[in-house]
Amino acid sequence: MGHLSGERLYEIFARQKRADRLEHIGTVSAPNPELARVYAWKTYDEATWFEMVVAPRDAFCAVNRDEVPFTLHPVETV
Amino acid sequence: MARFTDEELMRKVQEGFIVESEADMTESYRKALINQITVQGDTELMSAPAYWMASKDAPSTNTMVSATAIIQDELGHANIAYRLLQDLGVDTDALLYDRPPNKFKNPFGFDQPIANWAELVSAHGLYDRAGITLLSDVHRHTSYGPLKRALVKVGMEENFHLRHGEAWMKKLCEAGGEGRDLVQRAVDWMFPMGVEWFGMPDDRKHHNAQLDFKLKGMTNDQLRNTWLKAVVPLCESLGLEVPAHSDPDTGEVELEYGFPCEWDADDRVWLYDQPITWDQVWERWRARGPMNEEFVNSVRRSRGSIERMLAA
Amino acid sequence: MSLVRTDSFKSADELSNPVREALAATLLSLADNKRILGMRYGEWILGAPTLESGIACSAMAQDEWGHGRILYATLKDFGLDPGVLEHDRPAEEYLSSELLDSAVEEWPDLLALNLLFDAALSVQVEALTNSNYEPIHFKTRKLLEEERFHFEHGRGWALRLSETATGREALEAAFRKAMGPSLRWFGRSEAGFGQLLQAAGVSAGTADSLRQVWLDRVVPVLAEAGLEELATEFEANAELDWSDWDADRRRGGSGGPDAETLARIRGDKNRSMLMD
């Protein structure tokens, strides 16, 4: 968990089956996309996802609000 | 912060308002929420070393897989809880890796060794039932949106743990012999641990921010009763003796001992004829159980060396 | 790596004696290694550097144990009793690598098992995917899918550790210890099980060709992680030290899993509650 040096937060999105919406299902901390993928797949294994993707939290841009979950308390990347 | 006063926020959440970010909170709300999620995260986290202690000696590969899957879920749930805390501005690194072990807020039951397979499945059956009782109430009632969403996965998985525990308790009891005796011995010390799990009785608590802010829906006694109404009939149906009985007509459960009572830590038995006060219970909890330090340290084993390696 | 096409075999009885024995030993070696590798992953569920990596170790442990179960079950067709294989053998009958004999103390050593040795097992499993011995077919696909994430975990951590000088040194030291045993695990070049299985169309590679597949897979990751020297050293120098090699047990040295490991993989402590 947390900020082992050089880690950043990745948001995880998935859909369970075709035609489903891509939904935000969780967050992991990882030092690179390789580990973010593994961690996401193994931590959120409650369903057999049709599709799962991860994106770094700091890539999200707020559109209509100043305070959104992804931008509050931004994690410093070391 | 401070968009609302405490009174305003209390009224709003009782009317169904969902808090989504710190801007919606008052300082008291934030404090109560952080405390609640810390207890939740610490409990999930410390279940992992307790469960691994017995899972690593599971009787077969199959059983080792299911027991380890449960540990994986618990770590995932701990991770979710700490992540929520992080989004509330809590330094979760310090919380996890620098906090003195005796400051972890897990129940006394997870300061205890889990010695064999029968104790492990009884823990799944009794303690995970306590977890579900607490968390499904939070899931249903919480006014904090991010927690409500996170608990969907948690609830689903805890149910699997519970089923695993109950199915195995049944299996061992029906097979008889040593397995059955070990389950009875496990229940002997775990059942009163479970009764204590839900904390102080309602008449000792005058003010409850968690209820006022709708961070949960049921009182301690209501939660304890919900647990008892599930666990006591289960034990009765398996022919396991517990110091409680259920009324077949009303379904109400009555304890047959003066709760709370003395715990003999050396012999690991409850002394039912020695009732104690809640201050004494708190004292025992604060003094921690025998595995507290070892369990916390086991989670931290390589953290320091890898941190140094990566910082160099 | 290529498969010799001959008639397919529906059961072990249809195989010639030497091929049957070589295949049984290969499957048992895979099963034993996976059962114990799972313990080694399991021992890092709690002590991993982050909660996420602990969760990954837990998942990898379960994967390995699941694979072990599947592989032990295949040995029924060879007249072996999976129950006995799983619960009643002494340490010296395990066909497991010397790398797995006891618990791994440091995280980089676990990564060496993860990236190097686990991948060696996968290369052998892959070689059985289109085997003429049909009963193994449908068992390998899910297994290899899960292994992709194991390799990715090892690679992700190798890349991360290699970002600092101390991290790279620790990684190199750990990987150096595991390179030889991993390369040797495929067996000797001269006549041996690899050649037999390949000639019968049961496995897609000889010892040497599988060794090469493995090198092609791990060497680029070593290079990515700044361990070019280590990569070249082992790539260029095929001269492995076979002095303590036990060909029958596919391991170096005469030992086996230590007492604690053995008791755990057999389930000794809770034997009275064995009810599978």
- pLDDT attached to residue C237: 59
Spell out which residues of chain A touch residue C51, defining contact as CB-CB under 8 Å.
Answer: 1-2
Residue B128 tokens, joined: 């995970």
Residues 125 through 164 of chain B touching chain A, CB cutoff 8 Å: 146, 150, 153, 156-157
The mean pLDDT value for B29-54 works out to 98
Residue C243 tokens, joined: 């002095």
> What are the Cα distances from residue B102, in Å, to B123, B198, B291, C253?
22, 19, 11, 45
Dihedrals φ, ψ of A51, to 5°? -150, 135
- Decide if B79 contacts A43 (C-beta within 8 A): yes
Among B87, B93, B99, B306, pick the best mutation site for testing chain A contact (most A Cβ within 10 A). Answer: B87
pLDDT in tens, A7-21: 999 999 999 999 999
**Domain residues for C105?**
16-265
| Nearest chain B Cα distance for residue C55, angstroms | 5
Whether C56 and chain A come into contact, CB under 8 Å, resolves to yes
- Decide if C147 contacts C118 (C-beta within 8 A): yes
pLDDT in tens, B117-154: 999 999 999 999 999 999 999 999 999 999 999 999 99
Q: How many CA atoms lie within 13 A of A40 on its CB side?
A: 25
Domain membership flag for residue C62: yes
Domain membership flag for residue C4: no
**How many domains in chain C?**
1
> What are the Cα distances from residue B189, in Å, to B108, B112, B182, B193, C247?
12, 10, 11, 7, 52
- pLDDT attached to residue A61: 84
| Nearest chain B Cα distance for residue C54, angstroms | 8
- pLDDT attached to residue C235: 79
A5-19, A64-78, C103-117, C191-205: which has the minimum mean pLDDT? A64-78
Does pLDDT of A77 surpass 60?
A: no
- Decide if A15 contacts A30 (C-beta within 8 A): no
What's the CATH code of the domain at C80? Answer: 1.20.1260.10
Contacts of A76 (CB under 8 A, 6+ apart): A3
The mean pLDDT value for C4-15 works out to 85
Dihedrals φ, ψ of A14, to 5°? -155, 160
Residue A51 bridge partners (DSSP):
A15
- pLDDT attached to residue C66: 97
Q: What is the spatial distance between Cα B171 and Cα A36, in angstroms, rounded to a whole number?
A: 40
- Decide if B73 contacts B48 (C-beta within 8 A): no
- Using CA atoms of C104, C59, C218, C34 in order, give the dihedral in degrees to the nearest 10: 70
Q: What is the spatial distance between Cα C37 and Cα C60, in angstroms, rounded to a whole number?
A: 9
What is the pLDDT confidence band of residue C35, given thresholds at 50, 70 and 90?
very high
**How many domains in chain B?**
1
- pLDDT attached to residue A71: 57
Are the beta carbons of B57 and C170 separated by less than 8 Å? no
Q: How many CA atoms lie within 13 A of B193 on its CB side?
A: 29
Are the beta carbons of C52 and A35 separated by less than 8 Å? yes
> What are the Cα distances from residue A13, in Å, to A24, A41, B302?
4, 11, 30
- Decide if C95 contacts C32 (C-beta within 8 A): yes
The mean pLDDT value for C92-96 works out to 97
Among B3, B19, B20, B21, pick the best mutation site for testing chain A contact (most A Cβ within 10 A). Answer: B21
Sign of CA dihedral B108, B110, B116, B119: positive
- Decide if C221 contacts C158 (C-beta within 8 A): yes
Buried b (16+ CB within 10 A) or exposed e, B88-120: bebebbebbbeeebeebebbbbbbbbbbbbbbb
Our CA angle for B39, B91, C50, nearest 5°, is 80
Domains and CATH numbers, chain A: 8-59 (3.10.20)
**Domain residues for B209?**
6-311
Does pLDDT of B206 surpass 70?
A: no
Q: What is the spatial distance between Cα A72 and Cα A63, in angstroms, rounded to a whole number?
A: 14
Domain membership flag for residue B1: no
DSSP string, B32-75: HHHHHHHHHHHHHHHHHHHHHHHHTT-SSHHHHHHHHHHHHHHH
- pLDDT attached to residue A58: 87
* DSSP 8-state symbol, B302: T
pLDDT in tens, C53-78: 999 999 999 999 999 999 999 999 99
Does pLDDT of A72 surpass 60?
A: no
ipTM, 2 decimals?
Answer: 0.96
- pLDDT attached to residue C1: 59
Spell out which residues of chain A touch residue C149, defining contact as CB-CB under 8 Å.
Answer: 38, 41-42
A62-66, B247-251, C109-113: which has the minimum mean pLDDT? A62-66
What's the CATH code of the domain at B44? Answer: 1.20.1260.10
Are the beta carbons of B156 and A5 separated by less than 8 Å? no
| Nearest chain A Cα distance for residue B212, angstroms | 24
Does pLDDT of A75 surpass 80?
A: no
What is the pLDDT confidence band of residue C178, given thresholds at 50, 70 and 90?
very high
Our CA angle for B172, B159, B114, nearest 5°, is 50
Domain membership flag for residue B307: yes
Q: What is the spatial distance between Cα A45 and Cα A47, in angstroms, rounded to a whole number?
A: 5
Are the beta carbons of A1 and B146 separated by less than 8 Å? no
What is the pLDDT confidence band of residue C193, given thresholds at 50, 70 and 90?
confident
Are the beta carbons of A39 and C149 separated by less than 8 Å? no
Spell out which residues of chain C touch residue A48, defining contact as CB-CB under 8 Å.
Answer: none
Spell out which residues of chain C touch residue A6, defining contact as CB-CB under 8 Å.
Answer: 160, 163
- pLDDT attached to residue C238: 63
Q: How many CA atoms lie within 13 A of A76 on its CB side?
A: 4
Domain membership flag for residue C54: yes
Residues 28 through 47 of chain A touching chain C, CB cutoff 8 Å: 28-32, 34-35, 37-39, 41-43, 45
What is the pLDDT confidence band of residue B23, given thresholds at 50, 70 and 90?
confident
Domain membership flag for residue C271: no
Amino acid letter, residue B184: Q
Nearest to C95 by CA among C248, C263, C240, C253: C248
Domain membership flag for residue C276: no
Contacting subunits of B (3+ beta carbon pairs below 8 A): A, C
- In A, minimum Cα distance to C57 occurs at A42
What is the residue-averaged pLDDT of chain B?
96
Dihedrals φ, ψ of C91, to 5°? -55, -35
Residue B261 bridge partners (DSSP):
B275
The mean pLDDT value for A36-52 works out to 96
Domain membership flag for residue C212: yes
Helices (H) then strands (E): counts for chain B: 12, 4
What is the pLDDT confidence band of residue A78, given thresholds at 50, 70 and 90?
very low
What does the H/E/C string look like for chain C? Answer: CCCCCCCCECCHHHCCHHHHHHHHHHHHHHHHHHHHHHHHHHCCCCCCCCHHHHHHHHHHHHHHHHHHHHHHHHHHHHCCCHHHHHHCCCHHHCCCCHHHCCCCCCHHHHHHHHHHHHHHHHHHHHHCCCCCEHHHHHHHHHHHHHHHHHHHHHHHHHHHHCCCHHHHHHHHHHHHHHHHHHHHCCCCCCCCHHHHHHHCCCCCCCHHHHHHHHHHHHHHHHHHCCCHHHHHHHHHCCCCCCCCEECCCCEECCCCCCHHHHHHHHCHHHHHHCCC
Residue B233 tokens, joined: 């009939």
Residue B25 CA from chain centroid, whole number: 26
Domain membership flag for residue C205: yes
Are the beta carbons of B83 and A1 separated by less than 8 Å? yes
The mean pLDDT value for C238-263 works out to 93
- In this structure, the number of other CB atoms found within 10 A of the CB of residue B132 comes to 20
- In this structure, the number of other CB atoms found within 10 A of the CB of residue C62 comes to 24
Whether B89 and chain A come into contact, CB under 8 Å, resolves to yes
- Decide if C119 contacts C187 (C-beta within 8 A): no
Does pLDDT of B30 surpass 50?
A: yes
- Decide if C101 contacts C257 (C-beta within 8 A): yes
Domain membership flag for residue B263: yes
